[in-house]
Homo-oligomer: A and B are copies of this chain.
Amino acid sequence: MVRLDFDKMGGLIPVIAQDYLSGRVLMLAFMNEEAWQTTLSTGFVTYYSRSRNELWTKGKTSGNMQKVKEIYTDCDDDAILIKIEQIGGAACHTGFESCFHKKIEDGEIRIVGTPVFDPKEVYKK
């Protein structure tokens, strides 16, 4: 039986979401025990939002959900790598495929890639 170490970060573990086909790292977020169990039982990734203090099923608003393909825990069970199928092709709320689209070169940020969707359209009220 898998027991993750939620104690090191006060109830949270960091989670890396990686595209299961391309290998691109799409985002990093956190889970608490409930988010972890929800992810396991639904097959879609649910994080814990530190800013909103609530469970956060990725893509519930945008439709860009993350379907679980493979899950790995690390050597000391305090971090998780989830290989996912990114529905809609973009993980970032800015519309980019990856949240890691800001390359640091010589102390400056250069945006890499082009947005997959327009956040103003996706998140409009």
Contacts and interface: CB of A to CB of B under 8 A. Distances in A.
27 contacts: A1-B107, A2-B104, A2-B107, A14-B14, A14-B28, A16-B16, A16-B28, A18-B25, A22-B23, A23-B23, A23-B24, A25-B25, A25-B81, A27-B74, A28-B28, A40-B107, A70-B103, A71-B103, A71-B104, A72-B112, A73-B100, A73-B102, A73-B104, A74-B99, A75-B94, A75-B96, A77-B102
Contacts of A93: 75
Nearest to A12: B9
Interface residues of A, number: 37
Interface of A: 1-2, 8, 14, 16, 18, 22-25, 27-28, 40, 50, 70-75, 77, 79, 81, 92-94, 96, 99-104, 107-109, 112
